[in-house]
Structure 1
Amino acid sequence: MHSILAQQTKRIRGCSPTQIKQLIAQSDSEITSIQNKIVALESQIAALVELRDRECAVGAALRSIVAPIRILPVELLAEIFELTISDDLDSSEEQHIRDAFKVSHVCHHWRQIADKTPQLWTGPIHVELYRKRDLKEEGIYSNGLRAWFARSAPLSIPITIGGVEDASRSTESGSRVAEELLRIAFRWRSLRIIDHTTTGSLVRFLAGSRLDSLEELDLWRMNRDGWHFNPATISSFAAASRLRKVTIDTTYGIPIPVQMPSGHPSTARGWSVPPPATLVPVVLEHLHCLSVNWIENKVFAMRLLDCLSAPALHELHLCFEPECQGMEWAEATVTSFQLRSPNITKLKIQGQGLSIPSNALIVALRHTPSLTHLLIEHCPGTIDDGLLQALCYTDNVKPLVPRLHSLALTELRKPFQEDGLASMIASRWWTDVELASRSSPPTVARWTQIELRTVGKRPSRRFWDTLEALRQTGLIVAWEIHTSGPSWYWQ
């Protein structure tokens, strides 16, 4: 600007004001002319940009038409869509929702296919049932649920309910969200209620629905206090003909067992009211796996097993939390349960520090003649000479658990009986050549695998050499050692 000012100052030297005004008029006219040219060029550029964009769209459309994915059958494309939906349990609960919407928003064609592929919309849905929302938010939320449920029809879907703030609101069928849930109750594949407490009124509210597809029921922290909850209400879910698994956390004082009819596997946790003195066991004719988790030391705790009969039971998991240390093993209760459930093949006992007398465990093993898998975890003092000698195989002596072939002993702590353990393992192992050379086959199964996990001081070299010699002959042995230093694993 400074140089232009100097140039124009020199230019008008000697000019009159009238002449200067004429120069100004000429400059303004030139500006107008240039501006008109700019407008004309901008119009041409806009037309060229529009033409370019159209040609880009034409090229993209042509590429899309000839793209290999365009010639795929709709059924195959739908399967590809399914593979893009996240099923990673470690990912966020909403990831599969985001994935489904991403696929459906790529193009109109894909959206049509996605909307007609219900498998894309059957991932777990977490519904905040009574979280505070204004009317507009409630409408948006319920409309979104309705759209999702419509896309997943007619398939069943897993439902998780949270956000139950007030039990008095739990029966308000006027809630739009509750209405949307109940509209598709017949399509619930599983129902989980994971709020701080599950009130009896909410259970009654849900149990009265049509539950044709329900296979799993998970009720956390059942609470009857103040709500006049009748535990028999849970039995209302028995109308669900496909129900196969029930988990009830009764930490807040529901007396159990409730009378769930046969065919419904169940997991029960933490009741604080003793069962009646006289019990008629509930017969679960189709129950294959039972897992019981004791979370506190109660003198009557193991009496749950007095309440059950499972003639088809194959797997029994008895898990004791650290708070159960000092609880007595109810030998008579366990034995009675085993007599009513004679076909157990897999037994897992997780003691978390609970000491089970070895003679009591021997009695339990004696009543599981079909046992093939045994896991004993962190039961101090249980693995002693008496148990190991009872498990040792000797020809012409009736063996304990003759079908046992998989053994896992974890959280073994020194001093455990190294020689007795090594001898017991060796007594039930033969190579193919050794088996063929016997005049008669052994009356026990040979090992398929052994798993040991020790804590503290490393076992002796002699014990190590014995296991290594067995491993060299083909026995699968996994051994994990936890010491004060780094842990190490040998297989």
Structure 2
Amino acid sequence: MATAPFSIHAILAQQTERTSGSSTAQIKDLIAESDSRVTSIQTEIAALKSQIAALAELSARESAAGEVLRFLIAPIRKLPVELLAQIFVLTIRDSDPSQRWYKQHTVHIRDAYRLSHVCRLWRNIACNLPRLWTGPIEASFSLEFDSAEKEEIYADGLRVWFARSEPLPVPIIITGLREGNWFSKIRPRLTEELRRISPRWRSLEFHEKTPGSLLQQLTSRGLDALEELQLRNVARDVADFDPTTVLSFIKAPRLQRLTIDSACRIPMPWAQLTDITLTHQTSSGVLLDIFSQCTNVVKASVVTAGWSDTSPKMLPLDKLSFLSVFWVESFVVQEMKFLDFISAPVLDELHLSFQVDSRIEWTEGFTAFQLRSPNITRFKVDGRGAYIPPSGLLSALRHTPSLTHLSVEDSPGSIDDAVLNALCYTNGVEPMVPRLHSLGLAAINCSQDLLAHMITSRWWTESTELASCSTPSIVARWRRIQLAEGRDDSGVKLGPNFRDAMEDLRGTGLAVDLMDWRSWRSKGEAW
């Protein structure tokens, strides 16, 4: 209950009138009486506060008792421990390594610790559930510590995480290896904690160039569980370091996925690898030499520049289903000869990217490569601003009859009226790539009226399809269309008439997305 407000001016007037004509001694007696009453009131307040505190404590106890009683009869307490453990595992969110600045790469860590701090029962289950502690764990060599004690606390935290995940494999991400301060940042305790569990690494990812001496220390105990390695490059931080003497990876029995700078020269078990990404620009001859050892490769991404003087034999990659080739530097026709000597009969997805200074000439060798890879269903071209002649794109499409997904990005002039007309379904005549059902175009300068006509020609509603089921269409119906504008204000813009046409198609059920350049680059095509 709030106290009634009072005015000090009113009290002053009241007491002035009360003491009018009183002596100083009489006023002092009044003061003593007032002080006595204040003391008595404060004593009474203290007693009431004590009673209130006792009642508050009693209320808290009763509330706690009620919560405990509810807990005792809660349905979750009747669940078997095994089922509760499975629920725990399912509640752990997947981390997103790309969202480091938003701390989305550590949500699995926070989730695991929250579960282990709910109650004693949950803590016992969580701490004895290795699957709960097998999310990616980052070990940073760049953290600044005020004291050696705090550094030990950090290392102890990693040790606890590793202990709780035992004996299961764990993904390891190593960051903070900035060039120039390696010797001050290579922390012995952190290195030892990582080295101690190296036989349990499921994956190992280095974000920066790695000192050779650290790599040798970390991998000296074996890599029995290692399935994936991302090693950008290795630096010779000590004079006698020889990358060819690092033999730990060649002895890793489960290693299958590799991302590496092809110039680092560390021996790898090429024959057992199924997924290979080579990040350093490499001559086609060297790439062919590497892939001649990769008899089981299924997925490959390479960066190439230049050509070898040798004339290699045809290289059969009989299991290769995905290939991405990024050509850099000044482009010459003969660079495409990298594909002249590859045979990939089961290739399903092909990506071509260019970072070139001149226009690209489509070669007959590429057509021959397509004929040796007749099962391509997904084809992506990223021009990065380079001009790809429409005749080249037409030739590529003509020789991919099984194509279902097509993406062309940032290649002004590559899609002209001839390409769009070839893709149109008109008067029941089979168009080019009749199985095509997913299309992505970004920063493409073409006739928007003809593009809208082409898209409309290959779309019909489900009711129309059911009505004509007795005569199956010779062309696939669209499943998804994604279109993006140019990279800046001066780039390609989708006009209002085109947008209206796409909105009409969306109203009939076509999944069509119109986006800006930034959204396209962050999301890519929904394949």
Same fold (TM over 0.5): yes
Query: Could you tell me which amino acid in structure 2 is paired with residue 408 of structure 1?
Result: L
Pair 371,272 (structure 1): closer, same or farther in 2 beyond 3 Å: closer
Pair 224,342 (structure 1): closer, same or farther in 2 beyond 3 Å: farther
Whether 1:45 and 2:80 are equivalent positions in the alignment is no
After superposition, the CA RMSD in angstroms is 4.1
Whether 1:2 and 2:12 are equivalent positions in the alignment is yes
1:410, distance to aligned residue in structure 2 (A)? 1.1
State the alpha-carbon separation in 2 of the partners of residues 347 and 122 from structure 1: 34
Deviation string 1:166-189 (CA, Å, 9 cap, x unpaired) is: 4446877xx222222122212211
SS of residue matched to 2:318: coil
Counting only pairs closer than 5 Å after superposition, residues 11-22 of structure 1 correspond to structure 2 as: 13=22
Query: Could you tell me which amino acid in structure 1 is paired with residue 326 of structure 2?
Result: C
Percentage identity across aligned positions? Answer: 31
SS of residue matched to 2:167: coil
1:30, distance to aligned residue in structure 2 (A)? 5.7
Q: 2:80 aligns with which of 60, 73, 77?
A: 73
Deviates more, 1:45-54 or 1:208-217: 45-54
Counting only pairs closer than 5 Å after superposition, residues 168-179 of structure 1 correspond to structure 2 as: 168=183, 175-179=188-192
Q: 2:372 aligns with which of 367, 387, 399?
A: 367
1:243, distance to aligned residue in structure 2 (A)? 0.9
1:140, distance to aligned residue in structure 2 (A)? 0.9
In structure 2, the residue matched to 1:333 is 338
Pair 58,408 (structure 1): closer, same or farther in 2 beyond 3 Å: same
Pair 255,162 (structure 1): closer, same or farther in 2 beyond 3 Å: closer
Query: Could you tell me which amino acid in structure 2 is paired with residue 475 of structure 1?
Result: A
Q: 2:224 aligns with which of 188, 212, 219?
A: 212
Q: 2:269 aligns with which of 254, 260, 264?
A: 260
State the alpha-carbon separation in 2 of the partners of residues 481 and 40 from structure 1: 74
List gaps (5 residues or longer) in structure 2: 1-10, 461-472, 486-490, 511-527
Whether 1:469 and 2:457 are equivalent positions in the alignment is yes
Deviation string 1:2-39 (CA, Å, 9 cap, x unpaired) is: 356447636x948x96x888877776666665555444
Whether 1:355 and 2:360 are equivalent positions in the alignment is yes
Deviation string 1:172-211 (CA, Å, 9 cap, x unpaired) is: 7xx222222122212211111113x212222222232322
SS of residue matched to 1:190: strand
State the alpha-carbon separation in 2 of the partners of residues 276 and 262 from structure 1: 16
In structure 2, the residue matched to 1:57 is 64
In structure 2, the residue matched to 1:87 is 94
1:262, distance to aligned residue in structure 2 (A)? 0.9
SS of residue matched to 1:211: coil
In structure 1, the residue matched to 2:513 is none
Deviation string 1:217-239 (CA, Å, 9 cap, x unpaired) is: 11123333765443324552122
In structure 2, the residue matched to 1:161 is 174
1:448, distance to aligned residue in structure 2 (A)? 4.7
Q: 2:130 aligns with which of 118, 121, 126?
A: 118
Deviation string 1:326-385 (CA, Å, 9 cap, x unpaired) is: 2444344322232xx443232221235661424232122122234343333436334417
In structure 2, the residue matched to 1:397 is none
1:292, distance to aligned residue in structure 2 (A)? 1.1
1:247, distance to aligned residue in structure 2 (A)? 0.8
SS of residue matched to 2:94: coil
SS of residue matched to 1:471: coil
Note if contact 1:97-1:123 (Cα within 8 Å) is conserved in structure 2. yes
SS of residue matched to 1:205: helix
Q: How many residues align?
A: 452
State the alpha-carbon separation in 2 of the partners of residues 150 and 268 from structure 1: 34
1:147, distance to aligned residue in structure 2 (A)? 1.5
Pair 272,358 (structure 1): closer, same or farther in 2 beyond 3 Å: closer
Whether 1:102 and 2:110 are equivalent positions in the alignment is no
Q: 1:343 aligns with which of 329, 342, 346?
A: 346
State the alpha-carbon separation in 2 of the partners of residues 160 and 388 from structure 1: 44
In structure 2, the residue matched to 1:202 is 214
1:281, distance to aligned residue in structure 2 (A)? 5.5
Q: 1:128 aligns with which of 130, 140, 143?
A: 140
Q: Compute the TM-score of the two structures, normalised by the length of structure 2.
A: 0.71
Whether 1:456 and 2:445 are equivalent positions in the alignment is yes
1:389, distance to aligned residue in structure 2 (A)? 6.2
1:71, distance to aligned residue in structure 2 (A)? 2.9
In structure 1, the residue matched to 2:468 is none
Deviation string 1:427-446 (CA, Å, 9 cap, x unpaired) is: 9x989xxxxxxxxxxxx995
Whether 1:189 and 2:187 are equivalent positions in the alignment is no
1:414, distance to aligned residue in structure 2 (A)? 3.6
Whether 1:142 and 2:142 are equivalent positions in the alignment is no
List gaps (5 residues or longer) in structure 1: 393-399, 432-443
